[in-house]
Amino acid sequence: MSKKIAVLTEETIHDLEFWYPYYRLAEEGYDLVIVGPEAGKSYTGKMGGVIRSEKSPSEISAKDFAGVVVPGGWGPDKLRTHKAIVDFVRDVHANGGVVAAICHGGSVLVSARILEGVRATSYKSIKDDMILAGAEWVDEAVVVSKNIVTSRTPSDLAHFGKALVETLKKIK
């Protein structure tokens, strides 16, 4: 399996929920690609940091990726409006890759329609959305179900990073 991981970005992505998994995966030797709706665009995070996308979904193929990380913040509400982003997440999942989402990132998984029969968690405000999408929602720091890794908030990042790395290692 590829060592390539997409980390999604958009305006108002939660900076910590982007950078923590990014650097945790870099420590493990993964090839990280910052993917946004537009390649080469700089997006401003919820906390004011700037994240420049390297690629757009139209420039990459899900089959080349071992996984995708969907950070939280308010950015996922924007990400889910981009069909190409949602299709990319769905395709990574369909190809057996790991899909990881923290906080509001779960809303992209809802739009990708990959939560049916999956045990998952998220920020509490999207709990109902996840349940209506078919997830068994639980209030836990991190949940791994099949190849989907979910967490609730920035305070869960250490658990999220550890579970993400462990899950990726299982698909090699």
The set of catalytic residues is 103-104
| Short-list 84, 138, 58, 81, CA closest to 148 | 138
How buried is 163 (Cβ within 10 angstroms: 0-12 exposed, 13-18 middle, 19+ buried)? buried
Residues 54, 9: Cα–Cα separation, whole Å: 10
> How wide is the angle at C-alpha 58 spanned by C-alphas 61 and 27, nearest 5°?
55
CB 6 within 8 A of CB 92: yes
Residues 58, 111: Cα–Cα separation, whole Å: 18
